[in-house]
Structure 1
Amino acid sequence: MLSARNIENNEIVFDVFRLISEGAFKTENARTRIAAGDVLLTIVGTIGRAAVVPEAAGPFALQRSVAVLTPGPELLPKYLVYQLQSPVIQRYFEAKARGTAQKGVYLKTLGQTPIQVAPLDQQKRIVAEIEKQFSRLDEAVANLKRVKANFKRYKAAVLKAAVEGRLVETEAELARREGRSYVTGAQLLQRILETRRSQWQGKGKYKEPAAPDITDLLELPEGWVWASPAQLSAGEPYSLAIGPFGSSLKVSDYATSGVPLVFVRNIRAAMFGGPDTVYVSEVKAGELRAHWVATGDLLVTKMGDPPGDVCIYPAHRPPAVVTADCIKLRLGDFALTQFFAYAIESDLVHKQILGITKGVAQLKVSLGRFGSIAFPLPPIAEQHRIVSEVDRHLSIISKTEVQVDANLQRAEHMRQAILGKAFSARQTEYVMGLSA
């Protein structure tokens, strides 16, 4: 059994379907009697997508979100498909659609659709001209989509070069050329660890954070070193933490004002605030102090398919509380947050996250495993240069992507303009009602 989602780009997609019993098929088939040359039209939800049933199609049934139209001998199926998608008919469907949650067009209304009918030879010429122009348009759209797909590969290549020390001149090379010394990544890590030790305010004896497992990882550039999130986290307690779980935070604790909560969806979209924000009271937030997040903290999803989405908690937002499936990483003074956000997005780190992901029903990363993965740590000046160069490349990608999206939208408008011109009143001899 097919549904409205099987009607795409003037074609019927048979890849996804639902199996029904022979008895149910007989009942549905008696209702629709689908045959080659019939036109299928979506009439619920996204109204107006249409396609011709091909000769090679085997038997299938349809959900009631799709209508079956059988053109008479005076109407070419392809001509009908294109006309159903023309601006004038689309406006007709919009005006006649009824419903609240999901609008639809009733069959009686559909049967009264004013269809313009030209002589058959003229219909053939109209279809041929539409398909000629659509073919050119489709080629242009395919090229634009290829360009858009390349943006992801380009970004991945930029991030790969960034975390492997190939995007900018390394601090070691620069210092050698300028005849000066510099603070290496190893020395930087030592400072971070010493600062953590001296500023420790937690309960009990200070415990050294675990170094990362660097087995099978690439050799870093001169002056770089591997470091774990646990090593790079700030010295204060709960710098590396997850949200509360179990009875610590229940749905009944949610409020419409107070201290905002951060969910996986916020991190994925890098969007905080807005009408869908969920809060807890100031009192409850006080109980959850270990899970607070502040400006500049790194937020990483620990659940998902796959986990590992990352963003930086923005400066314009108030302190918040992370929820159970989020990781918070507050870095020390000698680690640039944006560099490590880019590192987590890179294949180098993301593959490590995938490697420590466990679960059957839900894929998750534990805080302990996340805390021991390997981050590349360059000298601090090099971190800044890398971030600036990545920002420059991503800005170019973003601007070009806006142009590509605008051209894709323009192509869709051109498609409608082609159909609008093809089915203007000048192209027809008379108007008839369509039986559905």
Structure 2
Amino acid sequence: MDNWEKVFFNNIPAYLLIINASLSIQFESTPLKKYVKLLGGYAFKSSEYQKTGIPIIRISDFQNEKIVLKKAICYNESEEFERYELNSGDIIIALTGGTIGKLAIVQSGLGKLYLNQRVAKFQVLDTSKIANEYVYWVARGVQDNVKKLAWGGAQPNVSSKQVEEMNFPIPDIETQFNIIEFINDLKNGKLKTKIYFSQSVEAKILKLQETTLKIFDFSSEQEKQSDIISKLKQAILQEAIAGHLTAEWRTQSPMQKGNPDTDAAALLAKIKAEKQQAIADGKLKKENPLAEIAIDEIPFSIPDNWVWCRLEEVVKIAEAGKSFLCKDGETRNRDWGIIKTSAITSGIFVESENKLYSESVPEEIKYKIEIGDLIFCRASGSKGLAGLCCLVESLSLNLLLSDKTIRVKLSDLVLPEILNLYNKSDSSRKYRISLSTQKSTSMNNITRGELLGEPFPLPPLAEQKAIMEKVDKLMNIIDQLEQQIKHRKQLAENLMQTVLREAFE
């Protein structure tokens, strides 16, 4: 679908409003029931569903105005359901749910189909008074009215009778065919040099189409630029974690063997020695031996003065949160809240994503989140999010770790920003996804062992700081570009709203 057609389908509700406003001057508005009947579907018993038989078309079985039989359930054929059969060309509409008002035209070649409850089909009463295709455009015109009518309760719902009672100006059959021809020619971008039904209305709609197309093209260009920015960010991350950003730094600061500032092997040895001393002093628990990193676990090459290690080798503490019984309400000022996984999974700590737990200082104070914490998502319903982390850089609320999170404290010789950077890379994401694909549950979990077992490229201490300086500088430039793109997108959106509003003035 090209941009012209996309704009057409985005704007068609507005075009139909313009057409109907013009028609209402010439033709009296009458209830749809004078021309069409809405036949609701049958309440088939779920206990009698079959794997084979006649497909039952439910609301979930039509998307993008087409019937999709991939997940359709079936029913035994019976003469009593003949009135609920669908034929090629039938127009159906959803009468309930979040997608209320959505339409579909039954394609040819689907065989016999039955119509389920809460879906209705438009049935023309007299084809000499209303054309079948015109019914489709009438249906497109009632979509917004159906939604407005339905959203009164918790569950959006509208009856066939309510739709039939809607008033529309229905022109004579000849004008209907002229309008159909105009709409189809406009959709295909092949308008003829003639007056279809109203010169002023056609000119107004064509101008709206052409103006919004320019805005849409501009917005599409901004989307492309946003995609480029996202790819550029990922490229910078990969360049950083592979040591490419600091190639010049290494030339100016060559490796001095045994110096943790320029030799990561020496840095890792120092970290291990400090951990062993902490274990001996009773400050840390003794760890189980770690498996050697196999060659096929290494996702990319690193500079000679870096080393691959297991994440656990540079971690002092990794502690899971706790399951808390939360309350209704918002966490404010002196209250205490429990973070949701959504506070983490954007990769940036969002403290507002929490649930209220207590109005006073809780006993579980050890789970309090502090600035500088690296918090990992331990469980998520989406692939690739379990294992994602964020760095807490600012904090104004009293928040506690939930049981779906793990807090990691690194050795003082490893910048938390470096691990946070690596965690955002494609390489780390692929590691997380590889873990989730090995599990059959719908909830994607990552264990403490899996989290700490991830291979991690460790740079020397001084180079860690050089990497972050480079990354921060580049990301600041990219952030400025992103803000410019967002501003231009907002301008385009505002302009689009202005153009549409002016079309009805």
* Fold-level similarity (TM above 0.5): yes
Unaligned runs of at least 5 residues, structure 2: 1-55, 190-205
- For 2:34, the equivalent position in structure 1 comes to none
| TM-score normalized by the length of structure 2 | 0.65
Unaligned runs of at least 5 residues, structure 1: 425-436
State the distance in 1 between where 2:93 and 2:396 align. Answer: 47
- For 1:432, the equivalent position in structure 2 comes to none
- For 1:14, the equivalent position in structure 2 comes to 68
Q: Kindly indicate whether residue 136 of structure 2 is the aligned counterpart of residue 81 of structure 1.
A: yes
Counterpart amino acid of residue 159 in structure 2: Y
State the distance in 2 between where 1:271 and 1:205 align. Answer: 28
Matches within 5 A, 1:168-317: 168-175=246-253, 183-196=262-275, 203=282, 207=286, 213-216=292-295, 217=298, 218-234=300-316, 239-244=317-322, 249=323, 251=325, 258-269=335-346, 270=348, 272-274=350-352, 277-279=355-357, 282-286=361-365, 289=366, 291-304=367-380, 305-306=383-384, 307-317=386-396
Whether the aligned pair in 2 keeps the contact of 1:242 and 1:327 (CA below 8 Å) is yes
**Aligned partner (choices 109, 112, 129) of residue 186 of structure 2:** 129
- For 1:104, the equivalent position in structure 2 comes to 157
Q: Kindly indicate whether residue 458 of structure 2 is the aligned counterpart of residue 377 of structure 1.
A: yes
Cα 1:398–1:104, aligned 2, differ >3 Å: closer, same or farther? farther
Q: Once the 2 structures are TM-superposed, how far is the Cα of residue 13 of structure 1 from its aligned partner?
A: 4.5
Q: Once the 2 structures are TM-superposed, how far is the Cα of residue 195 of structure 1 from its aligned partner?
A: 4.7
| TM-score normalized by the length of structure 1 | 0.74
State the distance in 2 between where 1:149 and 1:351 align. Answer: 20
Deviation sequence 1:142-177 (CA, Å, 0-9, x none): 877666666654444333222212245453124259
- For 1:55, the equivalent position in structure 2 comes to 108
Cα 1:37–1:219, aligned 2, differ >3 Å: closer, same or farther? closer
State the distance in 1 between where 2:235 and 2:369 align. Answer: 31
Counterpart amino acid of residue 89 in structure 2: G
Counterpart amino acid of residue 361 in structure 2: E
- For 1:433, the equivalent position in structure 2 comes to none
State the distance in 1 between where 2:86 and 2:427 align. Answer: 52
Q: Which runs of 4+ in 1 moved over 6 A?
A: 133-136, 141-147, 253-257
State the distance in 2 between where 1:58 and 1:144 align. Answer: 44
**Aligned partner (choices 387, 399, 414) of residue 320 of structure 1:** 399
RMSD between superposed Cα atoms in Å: 4.2
- For 1:430, the equivalent position in structure 2 comes to none
Cα 1:62–1:95, aligned 2, differ >3 Å: closer, same or farther? same
**Aligned partner (choices 39, 50, 63) of residue 91 of structure 2:** 39
Whether the aligned pair in 2 keeps the contact of 1:213 and 1:372 (CA below 8 Å) is no
Q: Once the 2 structures are TM-superposed, how far is the Cα of residue 110 of structure 1 from its aligned partner?
A: 0.5
State the distance in 1 between where 2:182 and 2:406 align. Answer: 61
State the distance in 2 between where 1:158 and 1:6 align. Answer: 43
2:364 is paired with a residue whose SS is helix
State the distance in 2 between where 1:7 and 1:21 align. Answer: 18
- For 2:446, the equivalent position in structure 1 comes to 365
Counterpart amino acid of residue 306 in structure 2: W
Cα 1:350–1:116, aligned 2, differ >3 Å: closer, same or farther? same
Whether the aligned pair in 1 keeps the contact of 2:324 and 2:402 (CA below 8 Å) is no
Deviation sequence 1:24-61 (CA, Å, 0-9, x none): x8666534x32222222233233333232223343333
Q: Kindly indicate whether residue 352 of structure 2 is the aligned counterpart of residue 352 of structure 1.
A: no
State the distance in 2 between where 1:142 and 1:194 align. Answer: 55
Cα 1:110–1:13, aligned 2, differ >3 Å: closer, same or farther? same
Cα 1:260–1:196, aligned 2, differ >3 Å: closer, same or farther? farther
Whether the aligned pair in 2 keeps the contact of 1:213 and 1:374 (CA below 8 Å) is no
Whether the aligned pair in 2 keeps the contact of 1:37 and 1:52 (CA below 8 Å) is yes
Cα 1:275–1:387, aligned 2, differ >3 Å: closer, same or farther? closer
Counterpart amino acid of residue 235 in structure 2: A
Could you say which structure has the larger radius of gyration? 2
Cα 1:300–1:405, aligned 2, differ >3 Å: closer, same or farther? farther
Q: Once the 2 structures are TM-superposed, how far is the Cα of residue 95 of structure 1 from its aligned partner?
A: 4.2
Counterpart amino acid of residue 377 in structure 1: L
2:403 is paired with a residue whose SS is coil
Whether the aligned pair in 1 keeps the contact of 2:318 and 2:407 (CA below 8 Å) is yes
Of the structure 1 ranges 341-350 and 56-65, higher mean CA displacement relative to structure 2 is found in 56-65
Counterpart amino acid of residue 17 in structure 1: K
Counterpart amino acid of residue 182 in structure 2: R
Counterpart amino acid of residue 363 in structure 2: K
Cα 1:5–1:18, aligned 2, differ >3 Å: closer, same or farther? closer
Deviation sequence 1:331-363 (CA, Å, 0-9, x none): 233323233122112122233334445543244
Cα 1:243–1:401, aligned 2, differ >3 Å: closer, same or farther? farther
Counterpart amino acid of residue 127 in structure 1: N
State the distance in 2 between where 1:12 and 1:301 align. Answer: 39
- For 1:428, the equivalent position in structure 2 comes to none
Deviation sequence 1:170-199 (CA, Å, 0-9, x none): 53124259xxx9533334434444554566
1:158 is paired with a residue whose SS is helix
Q: Once the 2 structures are TM-superposed, how far is the Cα of residue 276 of structure 1 from its aligned partner?
A: 5.4
Counterpart amino acid of residue 228 in structure 1: R
Cα 1:255–1:128, aligned 2, differ >3 Å: closer, same or farther? closer
Whether the aligned pair in 2 keeps the contact of 1:163 and 1:348 (CA below 8 Å) is no
How high is the sequence identity, in percent, across the aligned residues? 16
